[in-house]
Chains A and B, each alone.
Chain A
Amino acid sequence: MFEFGIPVLSAFVSLALAAIPLLLAGANPIAAYGQMIKGVFGSVFAISEMLTRATPLIFTGLAAALAFRAKLWNIGAEGQLYLGAMAAVAVGVGAFDVAGFILIPLIIVFGAAAGAAGMAAPTFLKARFGADEVVTTLLLNFIILIFVQMMLEGPLQDPMGLGWPQSAPVLDQGMLPRLMDRMRVHSGLIIALIAALVAQFMLARSVWGFQLRAVGENAVAARHAGIKVKRSLYSVAIISGGLAGLAGVSEVAGLKGYLTADLSPGFGYTGIVVAMLAGLSPIGVVVAAIFIASVFVGADSMSRAMGVSSFLADLVVSMSLLCVLIGGFIAKYRIIRADKGNTTS
């Protein structure tokens, strides 16, 4: 469906195009990009920061990639992320004061289940009533965010928090272990990488993955061949929502320790860009998430060093998505031309 040439080219084109506003801002683009690279790869700390940023993007990128493979347009990873984070907090701040090896799996399972539920509902509306999941999942994001705010001013509010809209901290034994001393990168990254590997394997090698691809590529023929299309959609909805929920778990229980309404700076939406850049391939998602995280982290450092706005990162990310879409369109156009030639030959 996708080739890797287009995403890689898109990444470079978007960086090249971003040089124009850099010039306009009076900075030397080469020096600026040098700062950016230094800010990402210049030290162990920088790499740790970048991987910390990439972790939730791998989860949300996988959530989008798997759903999109089945042509189930899950735009609601942002909301599902918050549902997962809320479940993590509900379970993790003291409801079960048990040992870590029990509490951590509990937090993970409940967080994933909450995210899954957040995607299962729109999928039910789609399968039962034909409601367009693009609309329902997108709008659910706002409903869930307001619900989170309500909970943070109510039942989930930290009694010791002096009235701030934030939750109590997750118990220490419930936190995902850090990978290195004094670095923020945490074992959520390991879970994300395992999830990507498993997704890659299941997609290519399992009957489930076969059916998923069949439904996505041609639902009519899949149904004719005896594949249960709705069951396939529900299963991918649950997994997609679950992965987005894990993004929330990993942010709360791996990084922040407590929940606020600004937990995610749009990881759910950026996950869509990650998935498209990855050509909907799970392994590609890891690479794309690292690229996008590098742009964000690097732009912060560039901004500090060169005095240009870090909004440039958003510009690069958006342009890379546009480039992928345009590139995909051009490639598709070429494929049709070649087919025409074949059938008339």
Chain B
Amino acid sequence: MSNIVLSLNGLSKKFGSVVANADVSLTLERGEVLALLGENGAGKTTLMNMLFGHYLPDSGTIDVADANGQLCPLQLGHPLAALSAGIGMVHQHFTLAENINALDNITLGAEPLLAVRRSTRLARSKIDRIIEKSGLKAPLSTPVGRLSVGERQRVEILKALYRDANILVLDEPTAVLTPQEADTLFENIKAMTKDGISVIFISHKLHEVLAFSDRIAVLRHGVKVGEMATSQADEKAIARMMVGAESPKVERTKIATGDPVLQLKNISVAGRSKRDSLEFVSLEVHAHEILGIAGISGNGQGALAQVVSGLMTLSEGTIQVGGKEITKPAPQAMISAGVGRIPEDRHREGIIGAMTVAENMVIERLEDSDIQSRGLLRPDAIEAYARILEHSYDVRGPGVTAAARLLSGGNIQKLILARVFERAPKVILASQPTRGLDMGAAAEVGRRLLEARERGAGVLLISEDLDEILGLADRIMIIRDGQLVETKSHDREAIGLMMAGEAA
């Protein structure tokens, strides 16, 4: 009996003229953790979507082991075939119904359609057993819409495990977890692999791939460029494979900080739920300084970002920008006071997809006389301005007069960077600025933030990626349950513990 449970044989997929995957072959052994690495657009998700039957490959076959360990060809292009073969997928973008609770989400589709009564007791006890084994804790009776991003992801993983998956595909699973949670997840997955479950693990984060996987496969431009046992790999070698060069390291210089440019004093806001409320939050960001706000998702980061963006009404407290109080916080007031905002959800808040790249670049400058005169737009000036920005911020896509939704995620973020940084703001709010970006685009964001800091801006960096905060921030504060605590420590473990609510 062979130990191989899954074999992808020469899979290729083209979208129009774009090659997403070319002749990719992979094998997965029983109880193995295979890390699939690659930049955004390297073809990882396409490959997994072919495995799961969402896409039909142009050529190639997939074999999956049956109950006796014999490899049998998988019917391609049929998600149900993949499901019944025991393949479970946890997508990067969650596929949960927000209006029903976690338990119903997990059992949804796994129950007979025409059953007269449905008993949740059996399902619940099965899920409880999985939770106990895996430690994937999530409130089962709360509507998913009210769960945090982290909790939703755990529900997604539970959903796959509930369907008796023995091959689990995790697409960027740790992007939303604290280091401790991630470590627990790794341990639990390790435990599951001992039970014979095999895991394909898609990630950008090199250190966790090195710490946790058994084998690493690297994709670049749709081609498998390397495969090695983790024990024989090191970070630099993998990064080189992924991007074709060593990973860019952030360079930072020591600068004395200046006067405070952003001051929040005793700010409270009452959000719709606890997770978007703030209680007596005070902070100061100085010129030449990056203040990092670390925390687990759903602890008030969204509310803090909305306050600084001018989108939320304060129940208490004051905001000062450059020493002047903002009496009526509104987006326009914050923009004209010199606050540049990089929103958390760049598709929903950052751009208007149906409008052109150029229009999105000038949308915060509609009052300026080089954009309009007497209420009429100046299309030539707008296009010229957009072309300059397109060039200096390296926004790649079908051009400035094309719809912004045609840009890739990294280029959408570059568009937003261009819009924000070109106005030389005094204060920069960067909310999860590198979430979902590949290494190249993420490094660009970091470089621009440090450049702004050097120029004299104050940066408020809200991120759930602790590495990013440790790499960029001069000072670190931790947000938990809508409250802020400053920490002098730059130690991963200590900060992680504080994020989780333990005394450091």
Task: List residues of A whose CB falls within 8 A of some B CB.
Answer: 1, 205-208, 210-211, 213-214, 217-218, 220-228, 338-339, 341-345
Contacts and interface: CB of A to CB of B under 8 A. Distances in A.
Contacts of A226: 310, 330-332, 334-335, 364
A210 B352 CA distance: 11
A1 B403 CA distance: 10
A45 B330 CA distance: 58
A206 B377 contact: yes
Range for the number of chain B residues in contact with chain A: 35 or more
Interface in B110-125: none
A206 B341 contact: no
B372 A207 contact: yes
B377 A221 contact: no
B409 interface: yes
A294 B451 CA distance: 63
Given A207-B366, A224-B311, A227-B363, A342 B376 contact: no
A205 B380 CA distance: 11
Contact of B366 (A205, A211, A218, A338): A211
A227 B376 CA distance: 16
Nearest to A208: B375
Contacts of A210: 359, 363, 366, 377
Given A207-B375, A214-B355, A228-B332, A221 B350 contact: yes
Contacts of A228: 332
Contacts, number: 94
B379 interface: yes
Contacts of A218: 348, 351-354
5 contacts: A214-B352, A341-B20, A342-B15, A342-B406, A344-B41
Interface string B358-393: 010001101000001001110100000000000000
Interface in B320-360: 330-332, 334-335, 341, 343, 348-355, 359
Interface stretch (B42-50, B202-210, B260-268, B471-479): B42-50
Given A206-B376, A344-B46, A221 B348 contact: yes
Contacts of A341: 15-16, 18, 20
B376 A344 contact: no
Contacts of B343: 224
Given A221-B349, A225-B364, A207 B377 contact: yes
A77 to B, nearest CB: 25
Contacts of B349: 220-221, 224
Which 8 pairs of residues, A with B, have the shortest CB-CB distance?
A341-B15, A226-B332, A345-B18, A226-B331, A217-B354, A218-B352, A344-B46, A225-B363
Given A207-B377, A343-B408, A344-B43, A224 B350 contact: yes
Contacts of A343: 41, 408-409
A227 B46 CA distance: 38
Nearest to B13: A344
B405 A339 contact: yes
B335 A217 contact: no
Contacts of B335: 226
Contacts of B379: 205
B22 to A, nearest CB: 12
Given A206-B376, A344-B46, A345-B20, A217 B366 contact: no
Contacts of B15: 341-342, 344-345
Nearest to A1: B354
